[in-house]
Amino acid sequence: MKPDFAIQVDHLTVSYGGKPVLVNISLDVPAGMVVGILGPNGAGKSTLIKAVMGFVPRDFGQVALFGKSVEDARGHVAYVPQRGQIDWSFPVTVWDVVLMGRYMVTPWYRSIKARDRELALTALEQVRMTDLRHRQIGQLSGGQQQRVFMARALAQQSPILLLDEPFAGVDAATERAIAGLLKQSKAEGKTVMVVHHDLETAAEFFDRVVILNRRLYAYGEPVEVLQESLLAEVYGGQLRTFSWNRKE
Amino acid sequence: MDWFDSVLLEPWRHAYFVKGAVGGSIIAVTCAVLGCYVILRRMAFIGDAMSHALLPGVGIGYLLMNALFPGGFTAGGLLVGAGIAALLTSLCISFLSHSGRIAEDTAIGIVYTGLFAAGVVILTRYQQHINIDLNHFFQGDIYGVAWSDLWLGAVVGTIVLGLLIVFYRHFTLVSFDPTMAASIGLPTQLLHIALVGMIALVCVAGISMVGVIMIVGLLITPPALAYLLTDHLPRMMVYAAIIAIVSVILGLYFSEWVNASGGGAIMFMGFLLFLVGLVVAPRYGLLPAWRRRRRLVPQTDLEDVLKGALENEPPLLAPGRLNRAVRRLVADGLLEVDRPDTAPQLTDVGRREAEHILRSHQLWEGHLVQGGMSPDEAHAAAERLEHLHEREILDQFDDDLDHPEEDIHGVPVPGEREAGTDEYPDLVMSLLRQGDSGRVTGCVGDWPAGIQAGTRFTLEARNLETGNWQVRLPGEQRLMQLAHNDADRLKVELVDEKTLLAADPD
């Protein structure tokens, strides 16, 4: 495999309990690209992200990060989970969560170094959450919670950033903040993959767009990919929402 | 002092009490700290299962050791047997719950009752060979703590607390966000197994002291109480440990006084402490939550009181709610009370707010009547709808109704007064009332002839026939006529008439 692609998905097939979730997906993402994964509910968007992290058992196919198989590329990936997957009443503060971004480089017998604390603090400043760092995470607004996990991912300083629905249910300020961080990550040469649900904003946020519904329907620049006829085929009955949103 | 000596100090002069206190505290503290992860990971049921499933292990261990070293030391066999049983339990649970249709809680229920039943069969069949009775298994014997129990407790406590401290970050991350833990290469399965193993260890060490049910209680109740008291994991662990020690000491005293089983008394005290905490815990307790709710004054009450003060009609509220609403409005500077026995008066800000609510009521009424509702129905409905008073909605209704100066009952509709604030910057001429003076600041679209930015004006009464706005411009005799459409487009700012004249002597 060529190492100049940050993420290479090669004929990937994944199934849960005999039901195919992803079928024969092939996808090469060059380094420094911001890619949006779009598709209807149950299309396997989160599964694709998890496959890139090497968490789902593959029936067939390969996933490689910078030319290495995912199993050998641990730590290349920072992940921002969906809000619904987190136990918000867990007794950790904002600062605790951002520090988790530096756990991997800290050996078990050491405490976290001053340099790593600084990196965490910088990440916290980037999302403008320094003032709230002693808050328990459940006492933040949805947008602030999203930004804390962004900060944790930034603190990891991984070359690949995976975000699962970061724009779901956040306020306008957070949406701008996240979009800014995507741009900045790209400027730093990071490769970013984002599960996204809003077709409206896709062209604005992403360099490339993946249209997924178990199969890969399209992968390319937003203008090429976001075609009404293709979306009608992929989204089927769910397209109504889309046309209505376009105000045409 | 006699009382102090005989009740509080006397028990400590007996070795059994001291050993019970020390042994109980070691086990209870270990359970409490480990239990923080048990409750955060929602593993309480596994703890329950583990402790019960130890029975067959203990039984078989005894039998084996008896067969190998007749009459010899058996504590080791007990430990090995219990360890094997714990391993078997977790393996069976994980196998069953991953086998397809059976959910994990079902699997736990099947495995632990099955293994426990096997233990009961073994123990009762070989009763004469095993000197451990079921009663002991359930209740433990905190007053019969042997040195070997203390040693076992100390070793287990050191191992468990040591692991939890050294691998604090690992256990926390894997409990909080297992996906990230796996993505940075933490051995999530191993960490889970380690936690299950530690639960098994504290069960083995603790069962002979406090019994099988009580050990589960110690694993769950003190951390649960600590969880109500704090939002910070290290603090939660320390609190849980303190609560555990307090439960042990209180329980031992209690069992001395009433002559009851020590293990039961300890857990009962823990339970009572939890109940107290559940009620009074500062943030998550029931009492503070109830008081917060009581202090909360519904916005609708505040608005009803304001409108009532404007119209001189007391709002229909229960006295308690009325008092709370008035107190809050006074605190917020919307009402003022000169003397305690007089009715509160609206402040300027309060009056503006009140007029806004009244205006909302009147415009909703007008809107509903326009839509075909009878005036009585509309009035009743507007009593509720008036609390939806966003500027945009009201101005829309005002526009639809051709900016009425009186409502359906003939009561004047107050003009819009809150314009110019950050939240609502634009004021247009059609929202003004007779007598208002101001300055034109802008216009959407073409300017009406004779008006430009900066033009000063005073509004006269609306023309009854045409509905036009009639504007007096300084130094002109003739009234300027503005149709609805023009009045909507002119942006204005209000200026006091005197200021206007002072600034412009001619």
Looking at the complex, does the CB of residue B233 fall below 8 Å from at least one CB of chain A?
A: yes
Nearest CA to B437 among B503, B500, B386, B479?
B500
The answer to whether the Cβ–Cβ distance between A86 and B177 falls below 8 Å is yes
Q: How many Cβ pairs within 8 Å bridge chains A and B?
A: 72
A positions 138-157 inside 8 Å of B (CB): 138-139, 152, 156
Nearest residue, CB atoms, B180 vs list A79, A87, A93: A79
In the prediction, which pLDDT does B143 show? 85
Domain boundaries B299-400, corresponding CATH code: 1.10.10.10
Residues B194, B294: Cα–Cα separation, whole Å: 46
Q: According to the model, what pLDDT value does residue A181 have? A: 87
DSSP 3-state assignment of A77? strand
| pLDDT at residue A218, as a whole number | 87
Query: Would the CB atoms of A92 and B182 count as touching at under 8 Å?
Result: no
Within 8 A by CB and 6+ apart from B53, the residues are B85, B86, B88, B89, B111, B112, B115, B116, B119
Q: Are A77 and B183 a contacting pair at CB < 8 A?
A: yes
Confidence of residue A92 (pLDDT cuts 50, 70, 90): very high
Provide CATH code, domain B2-290. Answer: 1.10.3470.10
Give the B window 184-213 contacts with A, CB below 8 Å: 184-186
On the question of pLDDT at A85 being above 50, the answer is yes
Rounded-to-integer distance, Cα B472 and Cα B456, Å: 9
DSSP characters over B225-260: HHHHH-S-HHHHHHHHHHHHHHHHHHHHHHHHHHT-
Best mutation target among A16, A53, A103, A161 (most B Cβ atoms within 10 Å) is A103
A90 chain-B contacts, CB cut-off 8 A: 40, 175-176
How far is C-alpha B434 from the chain's CA centre? 51
A50, amino acid identity: K
| Separation between Cα atoms, residue B139 and residue B328, nearest integer Å | 56
Q: Is B245 within 8 Å of B58 (Cβ atoms)?
A: no
Spatial distance between the Cα atoms of A235 and A237, rounded to a whole number of angstroms: 6
Tell me, yes or no, if A16 comes closer than 8 A to chain B by beta carbon: no
In chain B, domain spans? 2-290, 299-400, 429-503
Residue in A55, A92, A104 closest to B185 by CB: A104
Hey, how many other C-beta atoms are within 10 angstroms of the C-beta on B297? 16
Chain B residues 15-54 with CB within 8 Å of chain A: 40
> How many whole angstroms separate alpha carbon B120 and alpha carbon B59?
9
Using DSSP, state whether A220 is helix, strand or coil: strand
Please, what sign has the CA dihedral across residues B179, B182, B188, B191? negative
Q: Name the residue with higher pLDDT: A194 or B488.
A: A194
Torsion sign across C-alpha atoms A140, A146, A151, A153: positive
- CA count, 13 A, side-chain hemisphere, A33: 22
CA distance A90 to chain B (A): 7
Check residue B241 and give its pLDDT.
97
506 residues of chain B, pLDDT tens digit each? 677 787 788 888 888 899 999 999 999 999 999 999 999 999 888 888 888 888 888 777 777 777 776 655 556 666 677 778 877 888 888 788 777 788 888 888 898 899 889 888 888 888 777 666 677 777 788 888 888 889 989 999 999 999 999 999 999 999 999 989 988 889 998 998 899 889 988 988 888 788 888 889 999 999 999 999 999 999 999 999 999 999 999 999 999 889 888 888 999 999 999 999 999 998 899 999 888 887 788 888 888 888 888 888 888 888 888 888 888 888 888 888 877 777 788 888 888 888 888 989 999 999 999 988 998 899 989 988 988 887 778 888 888 888 888 888 888 888 776 554 444 556 788 888 888 888 888 888 888 878 888 888 888 888 878 888 888 887 777 788 888 888 888 888 877 666 655 555 44
A75 and B232 within 8 Å at the Cβ level: the answer is: no
B173 in contact with A, Cβ within 8 Å: yes
Find all residues with CB under 8 Å of A188, minimum gap 6, and list them. Answer: none
Hey, CA dihedral for A154, A156, A160, A164, is it positive or negative? negative
The answer to whether A85 contacts B176, with C-beta atoms less than 8 Å apart, is no
Who's near A92: CB < 8 A, 6+ residues apart? A136, A137, B172, B176, B232, B233
> By mean pLDDT, which of A24-33, A155-164, A194-203 is the weakest?
A194-203
B429-503 homologous superfamily: Ferrous iron transport protein A (FeoA) (2.30.30.90)
Task: Write a three-state SS string for B346-405.
Answer: ECHHHHHHHHHHHHHHHHHHHHHHHCCCCHHHHHHHHHHHCCCCCHHHHHHHHHHCCCCC
Q: Spell out which residues of chain A touch residue B40, defining contact as CB-CB under 8 Å.
A: 87, 90-91
Smallest CA–CA distance from B36 into chain A, residue: A91
Q: Tell which of B99, B177, B186, B227 to mutate to test the A interface (max A CBs under 10 Å).
A: B177
Mutate to test the interface with B, among A88, A92, A110, A134 (most CBs of B within 10 A): A92
| Shortest distance, CA A75 to any CA of chain B (angstroms) | 5
Beta-carbon count within 10 A of B35 CB: 32
Whether A93 shows a pLDDT value over 70: the answer reads yes
The DSSP letter of residue A247 is: T
DSSP B502: H
Looking at residue B433, the DSSP 8-state letter turns out to be -
Q: What are the beta bridge partners of residue A77?
A: A160
Across chain A, mean pLDDT equals: 86
Chain B residue at shortest CA distance from A54: B183
Which 3-state string (H, E, C) describes B174-203? HHHCHHHHHHCCCCHHHHHHHHHHHHHHHH
| Coil, strand or helix at B8 | helix
CB B237 within 8 A of CB B184: no
> Cα(A31)–Cα(A28) distance, rounded to whole angstroms?
10
Sorted by where each begins, the domain ranges of chain A are 1-76+158-248, 87-157
- Smallest CA–CA distance, residue B233 to chain A, in Å, is 5
Yes or no: say if B79 and B61 are a contact pair by the CB < 8 Å rule: yes
- The first and second tokens of residue A8, run together, are 């290479």
Is B179–A108 a contact, with Cβ atoms under 8 angstroms apart?
Answer: no
**pLDDT tens profile A206-232:** 999 999 988 888 898 888 888 777 777
Can you state the percent helix, strand and coil of chain B, rounding each to 5? 65, 5, 30
* Residue A136 neighbours by CB distance under 10 Å: 18
Burial A37-70 (b: 16+ CB within 10 A, else e): bbbbeebbbbbbbbbbbbebebeebebbbbeeeb
pLDDT at A56: 84
Establish if B421 touches chain A: CB-CB under 8 angstroms: no
Between residues A247 and B500, which one has the greater pLDDT? B500
Cross-chain CB nearest to A91 (options B167, B173, B233) = B233
CA distance B224 to chain A (A): 12
Confidence check: pLDDT of A120 > 70 = yes
Question: CB within 8 A of A63, min separation 6: which ones?
Answer: A7, A8, A9, A10, A12, A51, A52, A54, A69, A70
Phi, psi values for residue A64, rounded to 5°:
-130, 145
Residues of B whose CB is below 8 A from A17: 100
Identify the CATH homologous superfamily for domain A1-76+158-248: P-loop containing nucleotide triphosphate hydrolases (3.40.50.300)
Residue appearing with tokens 């007053």: B143
CA–CA dist B38, B31 (Å, integer): 10
Tell me if A53 and B183 make a contact (CB, 8 A cut-off).
Answer: yes
The DSSP symbol for A138 reads G
Q: How far apart are CA B207 and CA B51, in angstroms?
A: 8
The residue length of chain A stands at 248
Q: What is the model's pLDDT at position A71?
A: 79
Q: At a CB cut-off of 8 Å and minimum separation 6, what does B21 contact?
A: B12, B248, B249, B252
For A146-172, how does the pLDDT look when each residue is reduced to its tens digit (9 = 90+)? 999 999 999 999 999 999 999 887 777
Q: What pLDDT, on the 0 to 100 scale, is given for residue B422?
A: 47
Q: What is the rounded CA–CA span in Å between residue A143 and residue B401? A: 40
CB nearest A90 (choices: B100, B176, B183): B176
